[in-house]
Amino acid sequence: MIPHAALLGTVLPGILGVVIYILQKYLKRPAGWMATVGAASSVVLILSMAGSVVDSSNNGQGSVIFVYPWIRPIDINFGFLIDMVSFPIGLIIAVVSTLSCLYSVKYMEGEPNQPSYYANLLIFMAGMIGVVFSLNLIQFYLFWELMLIPSYLLISQWGTSRRRLSIGFKYFIFTHMGALLMLLGILSIFSYTMTFDLTELPLQTGSIPPHMTPIIFTLLLLGFFVKMAAFPLHTWLPDAHSEAPTPISAMLSGVMLKCGAYGIGRILLTVFGQRMVQSSDYLLTLAIITIIYGGLMALAQTDIKRLLAYSSISQMGYIIFGFATVSALGIMGSLMHIINHAICKALLFMCAGSITHQTGTRNINNMSGLVSKMPITGFACLIGIFSLAGAPPLNAFWGEWMIFAGGLASEKILFTFVGVASTMITAGYLLWFAWRVFFGSVPKGLENVTESPPSVLASIVALASLCIVLGIWPGIFLELIAPAADLLSSFLSTG
């Protein structure tokens, strides 16, 4: 393992982003390639920790921790917690962000202030990785807010319509209010436990008075649900994700939403395990509402990016459902779906961007027969569609069946039945989308459409390949995720 790879893998993109911003007067075309190389370096650094994480788990230690003294008077360290829970999520954030950089090289060509664009993209990436690898709650919150600022700028400055400023402002207000609720919860935890350390907090939960537990739990849950865009806190997402440039939509929907899901797994399951058990039925109800609402709204869309945005809301319901089953199998399914949905949704947004870029329209009603004009994009998009619909042997199948199997294992029979039935809506809007866009005769005006440039296709093909590889060989991540699910579920009986 590269010494202090967690620190380097987290901060390197942010540092490079600042460097690119400072040197923007002198940077023209190379900025995109510099950003891509920097993001790829982060992937390599995170991958270098894989062996240590596996060895640590096998030796019973459970995690690799890097600690740097920070605020000594109140014993707060700046550190990184790398274990079976955080490692795969941090890795997929880095991979999707790197492919988004590569995709941007050609896709954003001709856009103004490109060095600033790549600087914000890299800082956004650093914020997400920092959230997942944080050792303590204050560091977690600082990186959480670090995600917000560059993503707001990316939407408001490089948005695709005249409403980008108002949409960016709406996004900022919603997610910042969620962060403030989360901060209240974090400070409340510290006031009773006198620690922010995520490895110590599960041992200090008895210090929190019983009457305060539901209040703190709710504050944190609201903060995470805003970031995940769970119903009814979802209204910022369709506008923000459809307004952002396609590479940023891939990051927002593919990996940023998962930071909220990670917060549920890392904090709520470990620190408030008993409260999760007591709230299980309420959370399952909310999960099903989110699945159905997002699916029905996606079915009603004619804008290709808004359809995928509402689809993301629906898919977050699956992840909430798995955690809410409070079973090892359901938690395993949610962790697996975090990875698989990140790949599928980033792929679908990139395919949508490719289609929009080549056809000049986002209106599904104006498209048809595009598989004959854009065969690589079309085939890759179909892989993402069938995977997200839960078709084996593609990757998203594994997480979805484990989520609902977890519901049966925890004897949530009625909830599971309704949840499984609601997957028909998912299949419905995805197949409707595929049929309208890719099959039939090519309409007038699109006869001369051609395939996207190679740098755009490279990211699309890479993600489509991951859908196939992880579908055929799910053990690549399951070997990490299964022990992580066992670890998290153990707190449910002791929390």
**Of the candidates 377, 383, 231, 368, the residue with the CA atom closest to the CA atom of residue 295:** 231
What pLDDT shows up at residue 450? 84
List the structure tokens of 277: 């058990």
Q: What angle in degrees, to the nearest 10, is found between the helix axes of 328-359 and 304-324?
A: 170
What pLDDT shows up at residue 126? 93
- Cβ-contact 304, 361 below 8 angstroms: no
Angle, vertex CA 392, rays to CA 386 and CA 393, nearest 5:
105
What pLDDT shows up at residue 42? 92
- Cβ-contact 419, 407 below 8 angstroms: yes
**What string of H, E and C letters represents the secondary structure of 418-441?**
HHHHHHHHHHHHHHHHHHHHHCCC
| pLDDT tens, per residue, the chain with 495 residues | 566 777 778 888 888 888 888 877 676 667 888 889 999 999 999 988 877 777 766 665 667 778 888 877 777 888 888 888 889 999 999 999 999 999 998 888 878 888 889 999 999 999 999 999 999 999 999 999 999 999 999 999 988 778 889 998 999 999 999 999 999 999 999 999 888 888 888 888 888 898 999 999 999 999 999 999 898 888 899 999 888 899 999 999 889 999 999 999 999 999 998 899 999 999 999 999 999 999 999 998 988 999 999 999 999 999 999 999 999 999 999 999 999 999 999 999 999 999 998 888 888 988 888 888 899 999 999 999 999 988 888 999 998 989 999 999 988 999 999 999 998 999 899 999 999 898 888 888 788 888 888 888 999 999 999 999 999 998 888 888 888 888 788 777 654
Task: Specify which residues 116 forms β-bridges with.
Answer: none
The residue assigned the tokens 């939960």 is 205
The residue assigned the tokens 């199998």 is 329
CB burial string 439-457: b at 16+ within 10 A, e below: eeebeeebeebeebbebbb
The SS3 of residue 197 is: strand
- Cβ-contact 335, 485 below 8 angstroms: yes
Distance CA 243, CA 241 (A): 5
How confident is the model over 100-137, as pLDDT tens digits?
A: 999 998 888 878 888 889 999 999 999 999 999 999 99
What pLDDT shows up at residue 495? 46
What pLDDT shows up at residue 293? 94
Q: What angle in degrees, to the nearest 10, is found between the helix axes of 86-107 and 114-133?
A: 170
CB atoms within 10 A of CB 461: 17
Q: What's the domain range around 118?
A: 5-494
Distance CA 75, CA 200 (A): 12
What pLDDT shows up at residue 114? 85
Number of domains, the chain: 1
What does the DSSP 8-state code read for residue 259?
Answer: H
